[in-house]
């Protein structure tokens, strides 16, 4: 038994701090805190988060959270399920979508009961508004399904969940960066046994042993330059899982949100179009009428983004370089803008100097949401292959792929996802923890992280992190954005290989131990390189166009060949020149219950 580490909670061995908790949650955004609210009252729970919980990017979500409450007009969870499946271009697992839509109603009521200040109807009920792709009776007309709190729904969700965590005394480890998942061989099978984290304030390492471990680390929009995502959304959790040889699902599907502030990527919610704002090209034409005659500007995001890029490509863009289109809110009036969309009105004023009350706002698609991620089943259990679970390991929120969003997520379905599957992850993690003993830790569980950290701190190369990151992001915007081709993707793969070689020669300037953000940016870049490569490699392999993945060289959806999820595995040395030598791809069937794939028309 000497192979395993003997320790007590609170021990410091060779400078590494050891902790023991039944449930260890990584990430304190919406998904992580929703899980913590279930877990903390029932089990000894620790939440590790690289940001103070209220700094998480859930707080940036604006528009709303979908649930067929039918508070303002007839609605049903079955219609919501259909919209989710159709919106995801049929790559959605329909059993999961059904759970999402059914449990949505309680998820919203839970939040209201926890104190969330939703906007209200004249009767004092939760008000609802329209959002892209959400329709009445299988596509007949837009329906009011998004529950909202002005245009800061995500802020209110994050605050409300944090408030309830304070109420429950949840044990947060703030500004601790999880950098590795510890696996221990038990009977020849690697079992998750803990998480290694780096404490920002001190530079010290901590190992958290856990019976159940929940990943809720959010997205990785920073693989792109133009993005609505925060600087900190570098996909660390997804990258950690990847490096363990566990699969990632549907990574080629990244959502580009139509209305990012041109040149900046800061998001203007689809709720603006829900309230009646209109997209126009240079000549003032409402071009969405041509592409989606029934629901026009409220078509799903993949479609609208594509149409915008096409308008610009065909010379109908606005501005001096004809490189953006216009979001026209002027007819909504100051009253609607100030009361229902105050934050985005201010973003346009502050960052572009454009007042949406009197002039249209320059917009272009912005990298927004990762549909793919860590594969899980509907219990939020992480999968090791198409159907075997990794016992005790869970994932929820944007880092996970259940898959309820298929190839294109509908607006307002992610705030829903983090609540429904965050709750499930928390509950199932506790249930599991109550039935098992701790898996022992290996002798030196922090070894790999210590080597990584010390290697970077001592490195004396000439390459700079920021320069490499910028090249990666520029290249991803240029060649792996809304439209992709075999050729463009091949270019990115090459660039990533080069960058990876140069990454070996980086050095950082801050050699200190306290608050060394220089060091952490270097580590985060490592994750970005890994994930960008999986995105591009998976995209190259899918020779069809579906949802968020648009191949110029294969413009049609091909159900015959590709009606299945991509599963990517790291199987070799990531430095090998040919990605095929270190990534292997497989397929996983899509779960179809009620809805047979149809052509997607709006």
- Binding residues (CB under 6 A) for ligand FAD: these are 26-32, 48-51, 53, 56-58, 60-65, 153-154, 177-178, 216-219, 228-229, 236-237, 267, 269, 368-369, 397-399, 411-416, 418
- C-beta of 368 vs 546, nearer to another protein: 368
Binding site partner of 64, from ligand FAD, another protein, none, Cβ cut-off 5-8 A by kind = ligand FAD
Q: Is 301 a catalytic residue?
A: yes
- In the complex, least distance from residue 355 CB atom to another protein, rounded to whole angstroms: 10
Residue closer to ligand FAD, measured from CB, 162 or 483 = 162
Rounded to a whole number of angstroms, the minimum distance from the CB of residue 251 to ligand FAD is 16
Q: How far is the CB of 203 from another protein (least distance, A)?
A: 10
Q: With CB cut-offs between 5 and 8 Å by kind, which of another protein, ligand FAD, none does residue 330 bind?
A: another protein
Question: Smallest gap, in angstroms, from Cβ of residue 419 to ligand FAD?
Answer: 9
| Separation CA 372–CA 404 (nearest Å) | 10
Give the C-alpha separation, 312 to 35, whole Å.
Answer: 43
Ranges assigned E (strand) in 463-547 = 483-484
Kindly tell me which of 331 and 556 has the beta carbon lying closer to another protein: 331
CB closer to ligand FAD, 274 vs 440: 274
CB of 215: closest distance to another protein in angstroms? 19
Closer CB to ligand FAD, residue 148 or residue 562? 148
Buried b (16+ CB within 10 A) or exposed e, 242-272: bbbebbbbbbbbbbbbbbbbbebbbbbbbbb
CB of 290 to ligand FAD, least distance (A): 27
Torsion angle of alpha carbons 195, 201, 205, 207, nearest 10°? -30
The residue from 280, 301, 409, 546 that is catalytic is: 301
Q: Can you read off the two tokens belonging to residue 198?
A: 């780096």
Residue 415's binding partner among another protein, ligand FAD, none (Cβ under 5 to 8 angstroms by kind) is ligand FAD
The option from another protein, ligand FAD, none interacting with 149 (CB < 5 to 8 A, set by class) reads: another protein
Angle between helices 465-479 and 486-503 (to 10 degrees): 170
Q: In this complex, which beta carbon is closest to ligand FAD, that of residue 326 or of residue 344?
A: 344
Beta strand extents in 276-341 (DSSP E only): 278-280, 325-328
C-alpha count within 13 angstroms, C-beta hemisphere, residue 399: 31
Residues in the chain: 602
28: partner contacted, choices ligand FAD, another protein, none (Cβ within 5-8 A by kind):
ligand FAD
What is the spatial distance between Cα 599 and Cα 602, in angstroms, rounded to a whole number? Answer: 10
The residue among 60 and 292 lying less far from another protein, judged by its C-beta, is 60
Cα dihedral 271, 272, 273, 277, rounded to 10, equals: 170
Give the 3-state secondary structure percentages of the chain, helix then strand then coil, rounded to 5: 35, 25, 40
Pick from ligand FAD, another protein, none: which does 163 bind, CB < 5 to 8 A by kind?
another protein
Q: How far is CA 78 from CA 137, 267, 277, 421, 602, in A?
A: 9, 30, 28, 19, 19
Min dist CB 386 to ligand FAD, Å, is: 24
* Among ligand FAD, another protein, none, residue 284 binds (CB under 5-8 Å by kind): another protein
C-beta nearest to ligand FAD: residue: 29
Burial of 96 from C-beta contacts in 10 A (0-12 / 13-18 / 19+): buried
- Which residue lies nearer to ligand FAD by CB, 246 or 563? 246
What's phi and psi for 149, nearest 5 deg?
A: -130, 100
- Residue 496, SS3? helix
d(CA 387, CA 588): 9
State the binding partner of 414 from another protein, ligand FAD, none, CB within 5 to 8 A by kind: ligand FAD
If 0-12 CB within 10 Å is exposed, 13-18 middle and 19+ buried, where does residue 313 land? exposed
Report the distance separating Cα 15 and Cα 141, nearest Å: 62
Cβ 229 to ligand FAD shortest distance, Å: 5
What's the Cα-to-Cα distance from 552 to each of 98, 151, 480, 565, 582, rounded to whole Å?
A: 32, 35, 11, 20, 27
* Residues designated as active site: 301
């Amino acid at each position: 038994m000497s192979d395993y580490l003997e320790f007590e909670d609170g021990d410091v061995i060779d400078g590494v701090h050891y902790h023991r908790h039944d449930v260890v949650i990584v990430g304190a955004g919406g998904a992580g805190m929703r899980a913590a609210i279930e877990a903390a009252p029932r089990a000894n729970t620790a939440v590790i988060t690289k940001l103070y919980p209220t700094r998480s990017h859930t707080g940036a979500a604006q528009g709303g959270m979908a649930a067929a409450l039918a508070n303002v007009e007839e609605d049903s969870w079955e219609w919501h399920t259909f919209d989710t499946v159709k919106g995801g271009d049929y790559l959605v697992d329909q059993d999961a979508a059904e759970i999402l839509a059914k449990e949505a109603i309680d998820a919203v009521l839970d939040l209201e009961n926890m104190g969330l200040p939703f906007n209200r109807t004249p009767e004092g009920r939760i008000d609802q508004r329209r959002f892209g792709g959400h329709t009445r009776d299988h596509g007949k007309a837009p329906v009011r399904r998004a529950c909202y709190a002005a245009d800061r729904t995500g802020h209110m969700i994050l605050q409300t969940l944090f408030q309830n965590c304070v109420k429950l005394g949840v044990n947060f480890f703030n500004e601790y960066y999880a950098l590795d998942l510890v696996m221990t061989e038990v009977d020849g099978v690697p079992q998750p046994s803990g998480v290694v984290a780096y404490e920002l304030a001190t530079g010290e390492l901590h190992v958290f042993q856990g019976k159940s471990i929940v990943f809720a680390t959010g997205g990785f929009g920073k693989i792109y330059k133009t993005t609505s995502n925060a600087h900190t959304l570098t996909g660390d959790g997804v990258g950690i899982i990847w490096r363990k040889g566990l699969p990632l699902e549907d990574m080629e599907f990244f959502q580009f949100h139509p209305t990012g502030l041109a040149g900046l990527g800061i998001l203007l919610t689809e709720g603006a179009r829900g309230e009646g704002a209109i997209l126009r090209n240079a000549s003032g034409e409402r071009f969405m009428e041509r592409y989606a005659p029934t629901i026009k500007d409220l078509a799903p995001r993949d479609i609208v983004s594509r149409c915008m890029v096409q308008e610009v490509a065909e010379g109908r863009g606005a501005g001096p370089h004809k490189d953006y289109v216009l979001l026209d809110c002027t007819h909504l009036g100051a009253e609607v803008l100030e009361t229902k969309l105050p934050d985005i009105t201010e973003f346009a004023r502050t960052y572009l100097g454009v007042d949406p009350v009197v002039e249209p706002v320059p917009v272009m698609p912005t990298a927004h949401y990762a549909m793919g991620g860590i594969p899980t089943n509907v219990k939020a259990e992480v999968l090791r292959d198409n159907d075997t679970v990794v016992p005790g390991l869970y994932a929820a929120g944007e880092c996970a792929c259940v898959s309820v969003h298929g190839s294109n997520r509908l607006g307002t379905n992610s705030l829903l996802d983090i609540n429904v599957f965050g709750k499930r992850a928390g509950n199932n993690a506790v249930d599991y923890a109550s039935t098992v003993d701790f898996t022992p830790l290996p002798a030196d569980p922090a070894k790999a992280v210590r080597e990584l950290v010390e290697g970077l701190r001592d490195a004396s190369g000439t390459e700079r992190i920021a320069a490499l990151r910028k090249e990666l992001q520029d290249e991803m915007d240029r060649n792996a954005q809304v439209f992709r081709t075999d050729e463009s993707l091949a270019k990115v793969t090459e660039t990533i290989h080069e960058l990876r070689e140069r990454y070996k020669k980086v050095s950082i300037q801050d050699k200190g131990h306290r608050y060394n953000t220089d060091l952490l940016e270097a580590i985060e870049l490592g994750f970005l390189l890994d994930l960008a490569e999986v995105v591009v490699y998976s995209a190259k392999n899918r020779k069809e166009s579906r949802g968020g993945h648009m191949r110029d060289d294969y413009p049609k959806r091909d159900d015959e060949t590709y009606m299945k999820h991509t599963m990517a595995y790291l199987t070799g040395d990531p430095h090998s020149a040919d990605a095929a030598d270190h990534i292997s791809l497989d397929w996983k069937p899509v779960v179809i219950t009620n809805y047979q794939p149809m052509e997607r028309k709006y």
